[in-house]
């Protein structure tokens, strides 16, 4: 049985006489103990979807089940879930200890029990020393951990997290990604995590659902999402993608659009030798960007219409490719992955 199920769930907001379809016909099953991520650009319906699971927004149609029980119309306090909000929503006038112990206080747990429990949670997030401070006396990263401790103290079956790391700088965010993931593994709680950051989603999740304009475009593991995106939108949202019409790609067996990741293309400088494997396409280097461990090279290929992007590892290249260099591009058949594409790039035959 799934920990959380959404069956054909939609949410329509009406504001100023207009209808906004924030979430449209979403169905998904999140398994117990899973780290499931809702990924998508701003405005794609992630927060609305999470709020419907938490009970803060009610669906316009469809059903929501938690642990097999229908909760579609239940208020938040009747659902075995808790939420870490984007802005953490700590109470500014309360001590950190009281913030963490808050939900136990509401339930009438006596002071010494709830304070002992709150201290255990503060130790778990490695911040026992801040118990007597106020939220304003903490850094962003510390506030984030406190919000987590406060949400976990009620031992929810499912924890909902809405862009919890969004306010942190890159280094701290990467550190917290690792900590959050190992905490989730240790506790075995189901996490439903919202982010617009594809790196964060790929590195943390067991599975990812990609939102586009209120719809779920694909649900897959990080590796499948990256290597076998179903649509052009997914291909381009989770990474950099070359999208080509396959009949124009030498060696392609099928018609339709194919996607090739820049790191799946091998680049050789210079014109072809008479022996050896012939290149898929020939071109001219137009632009080179340095990314530290690789060069992203834009190659103009007459056969392919628009330029193709190729990632060239810095340590294997003899010299930096330069604008104007003749280039040969090679890739394996398996690197060209068929995708659904509403607007396939029109290529000259």
- As beta bridge partners, residue 209 has 38, 219
User: Whose CA is closest to 299, among 290, 291, 288?
Assistant: 288
Stretch that binds ligand ADP, among 46-54, 87-95, 311-319, 324-332 (CB under 6 A): 46-54
Please choose which of Mg ion, ligand ADP, none residue 80 contacts, taking the beta carbon within 5 to 8 angstroms, the exact cut-off set by kind. Answer: none
CB of 207 to Mg ion, least distance (A): 19
Q: Determine if 20 is a binding residue for ligand ADP (CB under 6 A).
A: yes
Angle at alpha carbon of residue 168, lines to 131 and 106, rounded to 5°: 40
- DSSP label at residue 264: G
CB within 8 A of 166, min separation 6: which ones? 86, 195
CB atoms within 10 A of CB 111: 11
CB of 81 to Mg ion, least distance (A): 17
Q: Determine if 44 is a binding residue for ligand ADP (CB under 6 A).
A: yes
Stretch that binds ligand ADP, among 15-23, 202-210, 247-255, 276-284 (CB under 6 A): 15-23
Taking the CA atoms of residue 119, residue 120, residue 123 and residue 129 in that order, the dihedral angle to the nearest 10 degrees is 10
Stretch that binds Mg ion, among 42-50, 149-157, 309-317, 341-349 (CB under 5 A): 42-50
Q: What secondary structure does DSSP assign to 167-192, as a single string?
A: TS-HHHHHHHHHHHHHHHHHHT-EEE
Q: Determine if 12 is a binding residue for ligand ADP (CB under 6 A).
A: no
End-to-end CA distance of the chain: 51
Which of 44, 47, 177, 264 is close enough to bind Mg ion by CB under 5 A? 47
Q: Determine if 164 is a binding residue for ligand ADP (CB under 6 A).
A: no
CB of 56 to Mg ion, least distance (A): 12
Stretch that binds ligand ADP, among 39-47, 97-105, 131-139, 290-298 (CB under 6 A): 39-47
Pattern of binders to ligand ADP over 216-255, x per CB under 6 A? ----------------------------------------
Q: At 88, list the tokens.
A: 């953490």
Nearer to ligand ADP, 195 or 245 (CB): 195
User: Whose CA is closest to 97, among 146, 139, 159, 155?
Assistant: 146
Q: Determine if 43 is a binding residue for ligand ADP (CB under 6 A).
A: yes
Q: At 83, list the tokens.
A: 């939420």
Question: How far apart (Å, rounded) are the C-alpha atoms in residues 314 and 320?
Answer: 8
Q: Determine if 166 is a binding residue for ligand ADP (CB under 6 A).
A: no
State the number of binding residues for ligand ADP (CB under 6 A).
Answer: 12
Q: Determine if 44 is a binding residue for Mg ion (CB under 5 A).
A: no
Please choose which of ligand ADP, Mg ion, none residue 20 contacts, taking the beta carbon within 5 to 8 angstroms, the exact cut-off set by kind. Answer: ligand ADP
CB of 47 to Mg ion, least distance (A): 3
CA distances from 99 to 16, 103, 151, 157 (A): 37, 8, 10, 20
Q: At 335, list the tokens.
A: 């690197």
Sign of CA dihedral 52, 46, 173, 88: negative
CB of 24 to ligand ADP, least distance (A): 10
Please choose which of Mg ion, ligand ADP, none residue 43 contacts, taking the beta carbon within 5 to 8 angstroms, the exact cut-off set by kind. Answer: ligand ADP
Phi, psi of 227 (to 5 degrees): -85, -30
CB of 166 to Mg ion, least distance (A): 9
- As beta bridge partners, residue 191 has 35, 159
Please choose which of Mg ion, ligand ADP, none residue 166 contacts, taking the beta carbon within 5 to 8 angstroms, the exact cut-off set by kind. Answer: none
The residue ranges that bind ligand ADP (CB under 6 A) are 13, 15, 20, 22, 40, 42-48
The residue ranges that bind Mg ion (CB under 5 A) are 47
């Amino acid at each position: 049985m799934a920990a959380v199920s959404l069956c054909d769930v939609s949410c329509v907001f009406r504001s100023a006489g207009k209808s906004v379809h924030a979430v449209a016909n979403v169905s998904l099953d999140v398994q117990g103990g899973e780290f499931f991520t809702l990924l998508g650009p701003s405005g794609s319906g992630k927060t609305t979807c999470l709020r419907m699971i938490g009970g803060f927004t009610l669906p316009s149609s469809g059903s929501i089940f938690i642990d097999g029980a229908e909760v579609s119309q239940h208020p938040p306090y009747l659902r075995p879930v808790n939420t870490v909000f984007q802005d953490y929503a700590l109470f500014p006038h309360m001590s950190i200890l009281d913030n963490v112990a808050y939900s136990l206080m509401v339930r009438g747990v006596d002071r010494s029990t709830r304070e002992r429990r709150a201290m255990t949670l503060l130790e778990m997030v490695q911040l026992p020393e801040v118990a007597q401070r106020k939220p304003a006396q903490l850094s962003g990263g510390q506030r984030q951990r406190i919000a987590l401790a406060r949400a976990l103290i009620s031992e929810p079956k499912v924890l909902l997290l809405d862009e919890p790391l969004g306010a942190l700088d890159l280094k701290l965010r990467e550190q917290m990604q690792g900590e959050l993931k190992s905490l989730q593994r240790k506790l075995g709680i189901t996490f439903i995590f919202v982010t617009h950051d594809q790196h964060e989603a790929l590195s943390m999740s067991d599975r990812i659902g990609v939102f586009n304009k209120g719809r779920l475009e694909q649900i897959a593991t990080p590796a499948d999402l990256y290597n076998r995106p179903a649509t052009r939108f997914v291909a381009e949202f989770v990474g950099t993608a070359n999208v080509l019409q396959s009949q124009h790609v030498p060696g392609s067996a099928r018609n339709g659009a194919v996607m090739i990741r820049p790191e799946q293309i091998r680049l050789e400088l210079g014109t072809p030798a008479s022996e050896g494997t012939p290149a898929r396409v020939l071109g001219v280097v137009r632009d080179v960007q340095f990314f530290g461990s690789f060069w992203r090279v834009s190659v103009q290929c007459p056969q392919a219409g628009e330029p193709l992007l190729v990632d060239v590892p810095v340590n294997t290249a003899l010299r930096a490719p330069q604008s104007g260099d003749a280039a040969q591009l090679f890739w394996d058949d398996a690197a060209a992955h068929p995708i659904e594409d509403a607007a396939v790039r029109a290529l000259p035959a």
